[in-house]
Amino acid sequence: MITKKKLIDFELDVKKIYEKGLIKGPIHLSGNNENELIKIFKSIKKNDWVISNWRNHYHALLHGIPIRILRKKILDGKSMSINSKKYKFYSSSIVSGGIPIGVGLGMALKRKKSKSKVFIFLGDMAYETGIFHEAYKYVKNFKLPVKFIVEDNGLSTNTPTKKAWGKLSKIKKDIRYYKYKRIFPHHGTGSWVLF
Amino acid sequence: MINLKKNKGLKYKSELIRSMNYLSKNKNVIFLGQSVSYSGNAIFNTLKDIPEDKKIELPVFEELQMGMSIGLALEGFIPITCYPRFDFLLLAMNQLVNHLDKIRVMSDLDFKPKVIIRTSVGSKKPLNGGPQHTQNYTSIFKKILTEVEVVYLSDPDLIYSTFKKALNRRDNKSSLIIENGDFYNVK
């Protein structure tokens, strides 16, 4: 599996290229959650599906998408839509957008009696959405091979989730959850870039 | 089977039934939605011959249903995803427009899920369902969808070929096939 150093170096490399104005699309850098993700990905197998979102670079690398392939996609301005059939990786840049698709993949795997699973990564704001709760209920009631992982950085773009909702929902016991503090801005690198 | 004499030569419904029976012969096809296994709308009446193990009765969660259909298709199934009325399909717009319609382009044609969406313009006769149950949004969907093919079934003679094409198309594109509840009784 890819190391913590390689993950960090990858994002720093992307940051450098972005700041040169060479990437013509938004980037959402990951950082400060390497330890948690490395641990989580130990239980995700090659044939499992991973459903990600706009902040997907670490998920993609940890699920086996080679550095050169991911790097090229990002350089092509496609950071927000990293998709691969070969590596069973889908990302949507709409909040909660990948969740229903992950549920359908889970239904398919169950009907085929496959041993593979679906791992859906979602943020703290997505966790509060109605569609997540529909999906969670359905997956649980029909025992679909779908696991949810909540990555809580407290923010939705730059809006504090707790402030906007007034109160946060309790994290359900069967949901994998971790909290971290973002070290990069929501998108970009924090530097002024001339494109 | 439909007795044509008894039904005064009407064939809109019988052609839909013939099409559904044809689709169900494909081992990857699966029917899902609300009222696919239980009565309550016109679409149900065309699925009576379909074996129960090929149908998934779903709760009312239109958006989740559309996303599920995409997920099933990504794993090789061909979902016939049924929305009893066009008005209800509006609830699935995010998954339809932002996901199904964009996934081919966003994945550089790596993902080509084939989903067949079936919906119906609600009938106005003998009872008029009113503004929330009878709208025909075909022209709007033709404009908003760039990759999903939109077909309005007005000619009963084209029903079977439309579904046959939707199932077998080599480019694996998805289809939105719209019927009209009033045509069941006049064509």
> What pLDDT is recorded for position A37?
98
Contact A100 B106 (CB under 8 A): no
Cβ atoms of residues B151 and B162 within 8 Å: yes
Interface confidence, given as ipTM, is 0.97
Cβ count within 10 A of residue B108: 13
Is the pLDDT assigned to residue B177 strictly greater than 60?
Answer: yes
Is the pLDDT assigned to residue B3 strictly greater than 60?
Answer: no
Is the pLDDT assigned to residue B9 strictly greater than 90?
Answer: no
Contact B107 A85 (CB under 8 A): yes
Binned at pLDDT 50, 70 and 90, residue B7 comes out as low
A45-78 confidence digits (pLDDT tens): 999 999 999 999 999 999 999 999 999 999 999 9
Average pLDDT value over all residues in chain A: 97
A78-104 confidence digits (pLDDT tens): 999 999 999 999 999 999 999 999 999
% of chain B at pLDDT higher than 90: 94
Q: Scanning every residue of chain A, which has its alpha carbon at the shortest distance from the alpha carbon of B65?
A: A100
> What pLDDT is recorded for position B66?
98
Closest CA to A136 of A148, A121, A119: A148
> What pLDDT is recorded for position A194?
84
Q: What is the pTM of this model?
A: 0.96
Q: Mean pLDDT, to the nearest integer, of B5-9?
A: 65
How far is Cα B88 from Cα B63, in angstroms, rounded to an integer? 10
Cβ-Cβ contacts under 8 Å, B65 against chain A? 100
Is the pLDDT assigned to residue B115 strictly greater than 90?
Answer: yes
Question: CA of A132 to nearest chain B CA: how many angstroms apart?
Answer: 9
Tokens 């029909």 found at: A142
Is the pLDDT assigned to residue B1 strictly greater than 70?
Answer: no
Cβ-Cβ contacts under 8 Å, A87 against chain B? none
> What pLDDT is recorded for position A195?
82
Binned at pLDDT 50, 70 and 90, residue A29 comes out as very high
Q: Scanning every residue of chain B, which has its alpha carbon at the shortest distance from the alpha carbon of A98?
A: B67
> What pLDDT is recorded for position B52?
97
Q: Mean pLDDT, to the nearest integer, of A106-117?
A: 98
Neighbour order of strands in the sheet with A146-152: A89-91, A49-52, A118-123, A146-152, A176-179
CA atoms within 13 A on the CB side of B75: 26
- Interface check for B172 against chain A (CB to CB < 8 A): the answer is no
Is the pLDDT assigned to residue B2 strictly greater than 90?
Answer: no
Residue A146, token pair as written in the block: 């779908």
B134-157 confidence digits (pLDDT tens): 999 999 999 999 999 999 999 999
> What pLDDT is recorded for position A33?
98
The residues facing A156 across adjacent strands are: A159
